[in-house]
C-alpha cells in the first residue's frame, strides 16, 4: 500500500487534515514546537511544513496553579505509615477511660439485619431447612444426604451450630 499524500479539507474544521494509510507510521513524526503560541508543525514528506493553529483544550484550565498541599513538590516529606506496634504504643499513652472503645474491647449492639443462614453440610448460603432434623441445606443433593444421616450425626451437626437438639 502506498501513501498518496491526499489532503482533505473538512469545511467544518479550520485545520486541514492529512490522510495516512497507517497512523502508527507517522505518529512519531508529529511534533509540537511552540505550544505556548498555539501552533503545531506538521511535517509533510511531499512538500514544505504546514503551520496550523491548535485549539486550546477545553478540559485544561490555562490559569491552573498547583496548590502544593503536601508532597515532595511542596517541600514536605511524604507521609510515612506506622506499623501496628507504633499505633498500639501511641494509644496506650493516650488518656483512655474504662468505657472508651478500643481495639481490645469492641462491643457492638446487635445488628438490625437478620443473621445469614448457611448450610450445615456444605457451608453455602442455605435457603431451606429440613423440618424433620432442623438441619439447613442449599441443594436437593444435600437434602437427600441429610435424610440418610443417623440421628447421632444430625445431633452432632446441630451441636456444632449450637442449636437445640431434636426430640425424636
Q: Which is nearest to 19 in space by CA: 33, 41, 31, 2?
A: 2
Position 160 in a domain: yes
Query: In 35-127, at which residue ranges do the beta strands (DSSP E only) sit?
Result: 39-42, 50-53
Position 96 in a domain: no
**pTM, to two decimals:** 0.38
Contact 152, 119 (CB under 8 A): no
Position 137 in a domain: yes
Position 12 in a domain: yes
Give pLDDT tens digits for 91-106: 888 888 887 777 777 7
pLDDT of res. 84:
93
**Counted domains in the chain:** 2
Position 42 in a domain: yes
Cross-strand partners of 137: 128
Q: Give the mean model confidence (pLDDT) for residues 103-120.
A: 85
Position 95 in a domain: no
Position 103 in a domain: no
Give pLDDT tens digits for 123-158: 999 999 999 999 999 999 999 999 999 999 999 999
Position 84 in a domain: no
State the residue range of the domain holding 28: 7-53
Amino acid at each position: 500500500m502506498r501513501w498518496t499524500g491526499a489532503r482533505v479539507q473538512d469545511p467544518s474544521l479550520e485545520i486541514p487534515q492529512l490522510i495516512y494509510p497507517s497512523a502508527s507510521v507517522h505518529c512519531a513524526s508529529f511534533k509540537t514546537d511552540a505550544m505556548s503560541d498555539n501552533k503545531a508543525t506538521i511535517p509533510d514528506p511531499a512538500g514544505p511544513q504546514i503551520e496550523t493553529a491548535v485549539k486550546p483544550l477545553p478540559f485544561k484550565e490555562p490559569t491552573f496553579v498547583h496548590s502544593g498541599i503536601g508532597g515532595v513538590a511542596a517541600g514536605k516529606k511524604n507521609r510515612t505509615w506506622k506499623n501496628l506496634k507504633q499505633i498500639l504504643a501511641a494509644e496506650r499513652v493516650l488518656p483512655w477511660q474504662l468505657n472508651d472503645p478500643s481495639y481490645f474491647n469492641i462491643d457492638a449492639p446487635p445488628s438490625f439485619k437478620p443473621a445469614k443462614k448457611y448450610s450445615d453440610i456444605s457451608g453455602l448460603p442455605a435457603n431451606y431447612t429440613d423440618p424433620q432434623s432442623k438441619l439447613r441445606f442449599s441443594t436437593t443433593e444435600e437434602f437427600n444426604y441429610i435424610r440418610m444421616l443417623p440421628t447421632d450425626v444430625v445431633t452432632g451437626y446441630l451441636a456444632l451450630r449450637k442449636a437445640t437438639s431434636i426430640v425424636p
